[in-house]
């Protein structure tokens, strides 16, 4: 689809759903022809249960893509299995980088110590792009309060370089909204949250966060890097106003 047509489509979607709730955006986007065929991409991380629960009560047969980087915390893998079963998600697709590709590009499993961007591209970005083949767009759990380029995030945006759209139902939610939703629906938290991990990624690149620190301070601590790469194009952060 020409970029101008895609831009017009995304603009129309944002106008249509500007005053809708997160649940309405998710439900209606899944049924809206302009949004196309969508999958939800989830890390099954600290706040993922909110969007996954919304999906389970909206349309639980929606494809859910989970990227197993082979470097995740064991707690995340267990949480993913237990949560998918508890919520009755019917189409969870676990994607990984093929072993031969890993062996060729990260033979010692230490690429993350030399080049974190290359490691994320190998273990997350490329597997995701393969998993998204055939979809018109994907649903994310990003929120404005997470800062950086996400501060102007809208419900719908263009994924540069792919011709797909991204849907961000929780874009306008606050941390209080997240906590309230989890409490009201009695949703299980990721076990590492209570151990000081408010943002959870791969084990080698995630550390505990001290009281008062930014929730994402434990991700790639000591580096300028703030994103894993799935919201990047060719390994670089995309800056399109609201895009992250």
**Which residues are catalytic, by number?**
228
Terminal C-alpha separation, the chain: 22
The CA-atom distances, in angstroms, between 205 and each of 90, 197, 228 are: 31, 12, 10
**Tokens representing residue 99 in the block:** 């072993």
């Amino acid at each position: 689809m020409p970029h101008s047509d895609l831009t017009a489509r995304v603009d129309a979607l944002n106008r249509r759903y500007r005053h809708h709730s997160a649940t309405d955006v998710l439900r209606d986007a899944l049924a809206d022809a302009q949004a196309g065929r969508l999958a939800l991409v989830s890390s099954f991380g600290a706040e993922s249960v909110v969007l996954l629960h919304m999906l389970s009560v909206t349309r639980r047969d929606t494809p859910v893509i989970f990227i197993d980087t082979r470097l995740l915390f064991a707690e995340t893998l267990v949480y993913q299995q237990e949560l998918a079963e508890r919520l009755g998600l019917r189409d969870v697709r676990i994607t990984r980088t093929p072993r031969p590709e890993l062996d060729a590009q990260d033979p010692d499993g230490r690429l993350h110590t030399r080049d974190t961007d290359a490691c994320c591209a190998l273990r997350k970005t490329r597997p995701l792009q393969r998993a998204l083949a055939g979809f018109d767009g994907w649903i994310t759990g990003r929120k404005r309060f997470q800062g950086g380029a996400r501060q102007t995030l809208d419900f719908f945006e263009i994924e540069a370089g792919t011709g797909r759209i991204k849907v961000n139902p929780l874009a306008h939610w606050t941390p209080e909204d997240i906590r309230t939703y989890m409490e009201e629906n009695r949703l299980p938290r990721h076990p590492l949250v209570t151990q000081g991990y408010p943002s959870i990624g791969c084990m080698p690149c995630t550390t505990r966060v001290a009281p008062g620190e930014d929730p994402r301070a434990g991700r790639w601590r000591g580096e300028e890097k703030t994103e894993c790469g799935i919201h990047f194009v060719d390994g670089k952060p995309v800056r399109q106003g609201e895009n992250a």
